[in-house]
Structure 1
Amino acid sequence: MTESDAGKDRGTEWADRPPRIASALCGDGDDIARARRLSADFLARVRTEHGLDVSHRAVDLTRLVVGELVTNVRKYAPGPASPDLRIVGDAVVITVRDRDPVLPVARAADVGRVGQHGLEIVMSVARSFEARREPVGKRITVTLALTDDPGDAPT
């Protein structure tokens, strides 16, 4: 992943150029680990360079979601994956593009099923989830909060 855009502060410049990182993964065996590591590094830079609050939970969930989405590309879609992460307000928006036009479908819960729970997990932690066909392939977009929601804290 290479950083393609970065705002210098949280001022009006962010409206036009929010912090962002994008990549074209080559399809080798290290793609998943590389994407997870670089997404965590991106959020660390957002925290230190831009002064945004980014919880440890947000970093962990971002790594999880990026890992699941890139894993799905490796398993089900031919060709490269193109992950893109950007900061929008108080959220990180994760977009992964691939060349397969078939949209993913979360399967019904089944405690006896081994594997194939990734999309269910992603949808359960996401603020929003969208799968959309594009002229070539599809785009999956997931939005996660950058900070923990106090309403989610255990009582």
Structure 2
Amino acid sequence: MDAAAQNEGQEPLADRPIRAGAAFEGSAEIAEARDTARDFLTTVQAVHGLPVSARAMGMVQLVVCVSELVTNARKYAPGPCLLDLEIVEGAVEISVWDSSTALPSIEAADPERIGQHGLEITMAVSQMFCVHREPVGKRITAVIELASSSSRTSSKRPSN
């Protein structure tokens, strides 16, 4: 069988989405979430040739792991959480699903408050942030540009 016949019905590699996903159950796996994000962005740059700024690399790891989304999911929701990373129009879309139906509480900025700044930080560094209820649990999504620029679109949406 020739190569064209073997690949019939499949999308060309260049047209396939660039994505990765992982499931996490223990708090020790939070470092794994950070590693997953770093490895994903390293592959995006090395294999797919897309520019990934140092800011994007750091912010994605911060948003994905150094708490924010994965840590909050592990801390406040029973069971596993799912992490999805996908490249969409020059940005990385970070989605974390967890089983809790409770929507996160997004506090107003308060420099005197100790702790609970995670979502505040995530919203500040993301081009878009949203929370969606799912049939089971919720999905929190943040978007960060791959190539950093000082101008950001402000399409952040609070939770639904």
TM-score by length of 1: 0.85
SS at match of 1:72: helix
Query: Are 2:36 and 1:38 equivalent residues in the alignment?
Result: yes
CA contact (8 A) 1:77 1:100 kept: yes
Offset, 1:77: 0.9
Instruction: Please list every run of 5 or more consecutive structure 1 residues that lacks an aligned counterpart in the other structure.
Output: 1-6
CA contact (8 A) 2:19 2:86 kept: yes
Offset, 1:150: 4.6
Query: Are 2:112 and 1:126 equivalent residues in the alignment?
Result: no
- Cα RMSD, aligned residues only: 1.4
SS at match of 1:50: coil
Alignment of 1:1-150 (within 5 A): 8-9=13-14, 13=15, 17-25=16-24, 27-67=25-65, 68-150=68-150
Equivalent position amino acid for 2:45 in 1: R
Question: 2:158 — aligned with what?
Answer: none
C-alpha separation between the residues in 2 aligned to 1:55 and 1:119?
A: 22
C-alpha separation between the residues in 1 aligned to 2:87 and 2:141?
A: 13
**Over 4 Å off, 4+ runs:** none
Count of residue pairs brought into register by the alignment? 139
C-alpha separation between the residues in 2 aligned to 1:61 and 1:106?
A: 19
After superposition, what is the alpha-carbon deviation per residue over 1:97-143, rounded to whole angstroms, capped at 9, x for unaligned?
A: 00001111211222221110000000001100110100000000111
Identity in percent? 50
CA contact (8 A) 2:27 2:71 kept: no
Offset, 1:151: 3.9
C-alpha separation between the residues in 1 aligned to 2:79 and 2:151?
A: 41
SS at match of 2:70: helix
Question: 1:4 — aligned with what?
Answer: none
TM-score by length of 2: 0.82
C-alpha separation between the residues in 1 aligned to 2:95 and 2:73?
A: 12
C-alpha separation between the residues in 1 aligned to 2:121 and 2:27?
A: 23
SS at match of 2:74: helix
C-alpha separation between the residues in 1 aligned to 2:50 and 2:150?
A: 17
C-alpha separation between the residues in 1 aligned to 2:100 and 2:85?
A: 20
Equivalent position amino acid for 1:48 in 2: A
Compare CA radii of gyration and give the structure with the larger one: 2
C-alpha separation between the residues in 2 aligned to 1:137 and 1:105?
A: 15
